[in-house]
């Protein structure tokens, strides 16, 4: 059975933090592929700050074009919005019966999982691989004992303290984002005048 990790995100824009985590997880957790699932509208995020889904998909495609294990996917573009992860997981389960899907998420998202639609079903029916995030206080450390340990596991991926919000503000302020974003994406952002205002 093919094993695919699902890394959901707005990717607004995609940056090296996303790419390092996706590639690390693909190669260190026995996954055949990691799909970067570009989400048109996360119900927990404000839509007005988003570049169009077409722009965001193109940036993810440009960033992953040379990686045979990491793929850009627009599956959620054709599903009802706002996009709820459980609905997408159910769609994929039916559309790809020969594939085992594992959900990838940062520990900050696992902390907020109770706000997700049908979150109990997600952890009951799907494996969840959790990558570490920068913690400001000891209180933020995640207690995973509340979850089924056969379903929810931590992975030792590098901690990447880069945010798309920071990058958008940097672009607005005309700061250099070299090395934080791959060159092809920087060129695309510049030629399409994204995030300048």
Where are the domains positioned within the chain? 2-161
Q: Which fold has domain 2-161?
A: Rossmann fold (3.40.50)
* pLDDT by 10s per residue, the chain, length 197: 999 999 999 999 999 999 999 999 999 998 999 999 999 977 666 666 789 999 999 999 999 999 999 999 999 999 998 889 999 999 999 999 999 999 999 988 888 888 899 999 999 999 999 998 765 555 555 555 566 556 888 888 888 889 999 999 999 999 999 999 999 999 999 999 999 98
Q: What is the pTM of this model?
A: 0.90
Strand-pair partners of 9: 38
Burial 8-39 (b: 16+ CB within 10 A, else e): bbbbbbbbebbbbbbbbbbeebebebbbbbbb
């Amino acid at each position: 059975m093919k094993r695919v990790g699902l890394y959901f995100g707005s990717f607004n824009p995609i940056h090296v933090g996303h790419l390092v985590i996706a590639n690390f997880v693909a190669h260190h957790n026995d996954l055949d592929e990691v799909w970067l699932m570009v989400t048109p509208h996360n119900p927990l995020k404000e839509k007005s700050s988003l570049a169009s889904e077409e722009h965001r998909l193109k940036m993810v495609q440009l960033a992953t074009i040379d990686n045979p294990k990491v793929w850009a996917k627009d599956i959620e573009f054709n599903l009802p919005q706002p996009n709820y992860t459980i609905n997408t997981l159910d769609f994929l389960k039916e559309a790809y019966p020969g594939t085992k899907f594992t959900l990838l998420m940062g520990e900050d998202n696992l902390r907020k999982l109770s706000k997700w639609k049908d979150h109990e079903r997600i952890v009951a029916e799907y494996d969840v691989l959790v990558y570490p995030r920068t913690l400001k206080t000891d209180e933020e450390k995640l207690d995973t004992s509340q979850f089924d340990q056969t379903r929810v596991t931590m992975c030792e991926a590098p901690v990447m303290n880069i945010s798309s919000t920071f990058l958008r503000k940097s672009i607005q302020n005309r700061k250099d984002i070299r090395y934080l974003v791959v060159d092809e994406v920087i060129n695309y952002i510049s030629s399409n005048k994204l995030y300048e205002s």
